[in-house]
A and B are shown apart, each in its own frame.
Chain A
Amino acid sequence: MKKLARCGYVAWSEMRAGLRRPVSWMLWGLLVLTGIPLSIVAGIESGDPSVGGELAYLTSVFAQSKTQSTAALVFGAWFLAMSAGLPVIRDFDLGVLEVLRSTPLTEREYVWGKFAGAVGLFLIFWLLYLGMSAGYFHVVRPFELQPRIGPFSVWNYLFPTLLFALPQVLWLAGVPLLLALLFRRPTVIFVCTGVWFLLSTGFLNPVTEGASDFAVFLDLSGRGWLNRTYLSLDRGVEFYNSAQLVPDPVLLWSRLCIAATGLFAVAVAAQRYLRTMRRGGGVGRKHMKSTAPAATEDALDAADPEPITAPARASRRPLGMTSHPLGFGGAIAAIARSELRDLVRRPGMYVFVPLLVLLALLETSPGQGPFGSAVLITPGVVAATQMTVVSYVICLLLLFYTVESLHKERRRGMHDIFSATPVPTGAILLGKAVGNAAMAAIILGVALLADAVMIVIADALGYSTGFNIVPFAATWGLVLIPAFIFWTALLTLLYSILRGRYSAYGAGLAILFLSFAEGWTSSGTWVTNWSGAGFITWSDMGTFALDGTPLLLNRLLYLSLVPLLFVLAIRLYPRRDLDLAKLVQHFRRRFALAGAARLLALAAPAILLAAILGIGGRRGYQGAAATDWEKDYWRANTANWTDFLMPSVSRVDLDLDFEPRERSVSVRGTYTFLNHRDYAYERLPITAGPWDPIEWTMNGDGHDPGGRARLFVFDLEEPLAPGDSVTIGFSYDVTYLHGMSRRPGGPGQFILESGIVMNDYTLSFVPLPGYVPGIGVDEDNRASPRDYPDDFHEGVTEPRFGWAAVHLHVRTRITVPEHYTANGVGRLVSDEVAAGRRTVVWETEHPVGGFNVIAGRYDVKEGNGTAIYHHPAHRHNVEEMSAALDSARHYFSEWFHPYPWELLKLSEFPAYQGYAQSYETNIVFSEGIGFLTRSTPGTNVAFSVVAHEAAHQWWGNMLEPGEGPGGNILSEGMANYAAMLLHQQIHGDRYRMEFSEDRETTYRLNRRFNVERPLVRTMSGRHVIYDKGAWVMWMLQQEVGRENLLAGLRAFLGKYRENPDHPVLQDMLAVVRDFAPDSAAFDAFTAQWFHDVVLPEYQLRDVAKTREGDEWVVRGTVENVGTGRMRVEVAATAGVRWSDEHEGRSVVSEDYRDARTEVEPGPGESAEFVIRAGFDPERVLVDPDVMVLQQRRYAARFRFED
Chain B
Amino acid sequence: MLEITDLVKIYPGPVAALQGVSIEVPKGMFGLLGPNGAGKTTLMRIVAGLLEPTSGTVHFNGEDIVADPRLIRRQLGYLPQDFGFYPHLTGESMLRFLLVLKGVQAPGGLKHLAAELLDRVNLSYAAKRKVKGYSGGMRQRLGIAQALAGDPGLLIVDEPTAGLDPEERLRFYRLLAELAEDRTVLLSTHIVEDISVLCPRMAIISNGRFVADTTPSEARGRLAGTIFQGMVERERLAEIDRDFRVTQGILVEGRHRVRIHVPQGGAPPDGFDAAEPTLEDAYLLLAQTNGEGNGSGTSS
Contact = CB atoms under 8 A, between A and B. Distances in A.
B198 A421 contact: no
A577 B69 CA distance: 12
A188 to B, nearest CB: 14
A1024 to B, nearest CB: 62
Given A321-B151, A324-B105, A338-B97, A576 B51 contact: yes
A264 B293 CA distance: 63
Nearest to B97: A338
A289 B117 CA distance: 21
Interface in B85-139: 85-88, 97-98, 100-108, 113, 116-117, 120, 134-137, 139
A315 to B, nearest CB: 9
A423 interface: yes
Interface stretch (B162-170, B230-238, B261-269): B162-170
A1059 interface: no
A326 B103 contact: yes
Given A289-B136, A308-B198, A420 B48 contact: yes
B193 interface: yes
Given A305-B196, A323-B152, A412-B84, A420 B76 contact: yes
B149 interface: yes
Contacts of A306: 197
Interface residues of B, number: 81
Interface in A392-421: 408, 412-414, 416-421
B9 interface: yes
Contacts of A307: 196-198, 200, 216
Given A309-B177, A321-B151, A342-B88, A579 B279 contact: no
Contacts of B216: 304, 307
Interface in A263-299: 285-286, 288-293, 295-296, 299
Nearest to B196: A304
Interface string B220-242: 10000000000000000000000
B116 A317 contact: yes
B174 A290 contact: no
Contacts of A579: 9-10, 51-54
A416 B45 contact: yes
B101 A292 contact: no
B10 A581 contact: yes
Contacts of B48: 416, 420
Contacts of B165: 293
B161 interface: yes
Interface string B141-181: 00100100111100000000111111001100110011011
A430 to B, nearest CB: 14
Contacts of B69: 576
Contacts of A419: 49-50
Contacts of A299: 193
B80 A581 contact: no
Contact of A322 (B76, B151, B191): B151
A416 B163 contact: no
Interface in B206-256: 216, 220, 250
B120 to A, nearest CB: 8
B140 interface: yes
Contacts of B178: 310-311, 313, 316
B62 interface: no
Contacts of B24: none
A56 interface: no
B116 A420 contact: no
B57 interface: no
Interface in B42-92: 45, 48-54, 69-70, 73-76, 78-80, 82-88
Contacts of A408: 86
B92 to A, nearest CB: 14
Nearest to B199: A307
B117 to A, nearest CB: 7
Given A304-B196, A325-B74, A338-B97, A320 B82 contact: no
Contacts of A321: 104-106, 113, 149-151
A310 B181 contact: yes
Contact of B103 (A296, A325, A338): A325
A746 interface: no
B12 interface: yes
A904 interface: no
B137 A417 contact: no
Interface residues of A, number: 60
B278 interface: yes
Chain A binding surface SS class:
loop
B247 to A, nearest CB: 12
B276 interface: yes
Given A311-B178, A321-B106, A288 B139 contact: yes
A1100 B108 CA distance: 88
B52 A577 contact: yes
Contacts of B276: 303
Nearest to B158: A416
A300 interface: yes
Interface in A710-766: none
Contact of A576 (B49, B82, B108): B49
Contacts of B10: 579, 581
Contacts of B180: 310
A582 interface: yes
Interface string B18-51: 0000000000000000000000000001001111
B28 to A, nearest CB: 11
B73 A421 contact: yes
Contact of B78 (A320, A325, A335, A420): A420
Contact of A295 (B85, B149, B181, B193): B193
A586 B107 CA distance: 42
B162 A291 contact: yes
Contacts of A304: 193, 196-197, 216, 220, 278-280
A576 B178 CA distance: 31
B80 A290 contact: no
Interface string A350-367: 000000000000000000
Contacts of A700: none
A422 B102 contact: yes
Interface in A545-578: 575-578
A218 interface: no
A1038 B65 CA distance: 95
B83 A416 contact: yes
Contacts of A300: 250
A285, A309, A321, A325: residue with the most chain B Cβ atoms closer than 10 Å: A321
A292 B105 contact: no
B177 A308 contact: yes
A418 B76 CA distance: 12
Contacts of B162: 289, 291-292
A834 interface: no
A1040 B14 CA distance: 95
B68 to A, nearest CB: 11
A334 B106 contact: no
Given A289-B162, A321-B106, A342-B88, 17 more contacts: A288-B136, A290-B163, A296-B166, A303-B278, A305-B197, A310-B178, A321-B113, A322-B106, A324-B103, A326-B103, A334-B100, A342-B86, A414-B84, A422-B103, A577-B50, A578-B52, A579-B54
Which 7 A-B pairs give the minimum distances between C-beta atoms?
A413-B84, A289-B136, A323-B150, A422-B73, A416-B80, A421-B101, A420-B78
Interface of A: 285-286, 288-293, 295-296, 299-300, 303-311, 313, 316-317, 319-326, 331, 334-335, 338, 342, 345, 408, 412-414, 416-424, 575-582, 586
7 contacts: A292-B161, A293-B166, A304-B216, A308-B177, A321-B105, A414-B85, A416-B78
Interface of B: 9-10, 12, 45, 48-54, 69-70, 73-76, 78-80, 82-88, 97-98, 100-108, 113, 116-117, 120, 134-137, 139-140, 143, 146, 149-152, 161-166, 169-170, 173-174, 177-178, 180-181, 191, 193, 196-198, 200, 216, 220, 250, 276, 278-280
